[in-house]
Amino acid sequence: MNWTSMHIAAAATAMMMASAAHAADFDWKKHEGETINLMLNNLSWTQKIKDSVPEFTAKTGIKVRFEAFAEEQYRTRLSTLMQAKSPDVDVFLTLPNREAQLFQKNGWYADLKPLLDASTSPEFDFNDFSPALRNSGVFGDKVTGIPINVEGPLFYWRKDVFQKCGIQKPNTLEQLPDVAAKIKACDNSITPWAARGLRGTVGYSLGAFIYNMGGGFTDASGKASLCEPGTVKGIQLYGDMLREYGPPGATNHTFTQVMDLLGQGRVAMTNESSNEFPTLMSHQGRSEDIGVGVLPKGGETGISKPVVLNWSLAISGYSGRSEAAWYFIQWATGKEIQAVLADKGIAPSRASVFDSEKFAAWAKENSARTEWVAALKEIASTGTSLYQTPTLTRTPEAREILSNVVQQVVLGQADAKTAACAVTEQVQALQN
């Protein structure tokens, strides 16, 4: 080894020793005896992190009150407490692309930047999160959330049903109705298709239908619109699939009902959250017969543009226990816990965990895992987080309008063009 190499090695060793010393200096017990309140949406991540909370309490001495709700109930409850400026919420889950602008404007987020700078373990490494995920909660110099995952809708299909019926996986969106019709004719005990139909939730699984058919959420001038030809085609196809080949009561379904049906073996295809993969795999037989991929591209357009996003942990702007809450967030999003959750099927937001040999080995244990990881990598590199008409602070209203348009098609009350073009003034008013 030459002098330069020795010098570099010595410097690296010194840096590692310094880092270890700083890590040892960080006092995880600083807030021992305190109690923090968590309010969370009932994601697969939520269920898995709850199992590990006793480890956090053992590490820090901080007790945790843990509340988790179904998504609509969660949003209602969180909004009520935030509007009341309640100190009863310390840590909560937030979906940046849906609500970050509004929550930031309302003062519902605490600024994590001072905590990152002054109250963070040297092992945390904020730069380990991919730039797109890391920046999803950044407003100027203010950091509002730490990403817990990467996710998006994926195309799930029953390989055994396709094989039994002699059907090939669809290569384009336009082939979906024909495939569904063949499944229906082959085995009428299987519902060919399921997807979200509940108001306020549809855009997530609909978005790629619109993009792949050549549409979007603005017109040529940049104004909000659902009336563009490709957009209308995507909405019509989505609505037709639910009306002709979906389960009864589809307009009341969100991800929980859709994935339950798939897990129980009652549905052949869906486009639903990558987050629900662990839940799906917990059903007997699904790890052997489920195929996973990205939604088929548009046949005429050749476009494949999936939706991708992340959930983040945030601290309430009204919390009186922000540093103790920050201890929980840096633990829950740290490398060690993300590695544990990755082994349970939670897609990590940290590059070091996602690209690790351990995660790669886990993925190779069966074909469903391998396909799931490959699909996540694809949506992370090609996806978009916009799946409603653009608006700075009124995203929930934009999604309600979109859902209402889709429901009219599903229920046979209007065709997509009539329903979508009728709301142009409404969606443009939200953009202002």
Residues 84 and 10 occupy one common structural domain: yes
Give me the number of domains the chain comprises: 2
pLDDT in tens, the chain (432 residues): 333 333 333 343 333 333 443 455 899 999 999 999 999 999 989 999 999 999 999 999 999 999 999 988 999 999 999 999 999 999 999 999 889 989 999 999 999 999 999 999 999 999 999 888 898 889 989 999 999 999 999 999 999 999 999 999 999 999 999 999 999 999 999 999 999 999 989 999 999 999 999 999 999 999 999 999 999 999 999 999 999 999 999 999 999 999 999 999 999 999 999 999 999 999 999 999 999 999 999 999 999 999 999 999 999 999 999 999 999 999 999 999 999 999 999 999 999 999 999 999 999 999 999 999 999 999 988 999 999 998 878 888 999 999 999 999 999 999 999 999 999 999 999 986
Residues 302 and 408 occupy one common structural domain: yes
Residues 257 and 403 occupy one common structural domain: yes
CA pair distance 169, 240, nearest whole angstrom = 19
Instruction: Supply the pLDDT for residue 131.
Output: 85
Residues 207 and 302 occupy one common structural domain: yes
Residues 248 and 314 occupy one common structural domain: no
Residues 259 and 395 occupy one common structural domain: yes
Length of the chain (residues): 432
Eight-class DSSP state of 78: H
Cβ neighbours around 43 below 10 Å, total:
23
Residues 301 and 172 occupy one common structural domain: yes
- How do strand 138-139 and strand 142-143 relate by DSSP bridges? antiparallel
Residues 302 and 315 occupy one common structural domain: no
Kindly write down the DSSP assignment for every residue of 392-421, as one continuous string: SS-HHHHHHHHHHHHHHHHTTSS-HHHHHH
Residue 332 identity (one-letter amino acid) = A
**Core vs surface per residue 73-107: b (16+ CB within 10 A) or e:** ebbeebbebbeeeeeebbbbbbbbbbbbbbbbeee
Residues 225 and 256 occupy one common structural domain: yes
- How do strand 267-273 and strand 153-158 relate by DSSP bridges? antiparallel
- How do strand 35-41 and strand 91-94 relate by DSSP bridges? parallel
Instruction: Supply the pLDDT for residue 72.
Output: 86
CA 206 → CA 130, 153, 154, 230, distances in Å? 26, 9, 11, 13
Burial tier of 358 (Cβ tally within 10 Å: 0-12, 13-18, 19+): exposed
CA 78 → CA 75, 81, 96, 103, 349, distances in Å? 5, 5, 15, 11, 24
What pTM value is reported for the model?
Answer: 0.86
The residues, ordered by sequence, that sit 6+ positions from 361 with a Cβ below 8 Å of its Cβ are none
Q: What angle do CA 242, 247, 252 make, to 5 degrees?
A: 80
CA pair distance 136, 125, nearest whole angstrom = 17
Instruction: Supply the pLDDT for residue 24.
Output: 55
Instruction: Supply the pLDDT for residue 120.
Output: 98
CATH code, 247: 3.40.190.10
Contacts of 425-429 with CB under 8 Å at 24 or more apart are 426/401, 427/224, 427/225, 427/226, 427/389, 427/398, 427/401, 428/223, 428/224, 428/225
Residues 170 and 316 occupy one common structural domain: no
CA pair distance 146, 165, nearest whole angstrom = 45
Beta-ladder partners of 146: 313
Show the tokens assigned to 432.
Answer: 């202002």
Residues 103 and 121 occupy one common structural domain: yes
Instruction: Supply the pLDDT for residue 289.
Output: 97
φ/ψ of 157, rounded to 5, equals -145, 150
Q: What tens digit of pLDDT does each residue of 313-366 get?
A: 999 999 999 999 999 999 999 999 999 999 999 999 999 999 999 999 999 999
CA pair distance 196, 291, nearest whole angstrom = 19
How many Å is the maximal CA-CA distance in the chain?
Answer: 79
Show the tokens assigned to 261.
Answer: 């049906």
Residues 383 and 238 occupy one common structural domain: yes
416: containing domain? 153-308+370-431
